[in-house]
Amino acid sequence: MSVTIWHNPRCSKSRATLKLLQDRGIEPEVRLYLDRPPTKGELAEALTALGLSAMDLVRTSEPEWKLTGLGPESGKADVIAALAAHPKLIERPVVFCNGSARIGRPPEAVLDLFEP
């Protein structure tokens, strides 16, 4: 089983999700996505794995979002480009396992990835 977490160690939800996984014996690959931002292609793949729209992955309360000039009516490609350019806008954490993904808000939301 391959597990990856897009992690921001400064985020309490991200830390809690990582700890939840580790407490269950799951040692994910930790990707510090602010240091190594996902590409547009990786973001598109993440949205497919999550089953969400591009806007569902945006932290719209961040000042950087307002600076993009984008909004709920913006196209998927534009939103993905903004997320790639400003990884701080990516909702976190995102946990990937075997082609599926969940956002860890709340942290327990990722647990169904590991149920049979």
Q: Are 80 and 53 in contact (CB under 8 A)?
A: no
Q: 3, 6, 9, 11: which is the annotated catalytic residue?
A: 11
Annotated catalytic, 97? no
Catalytic residues: 11
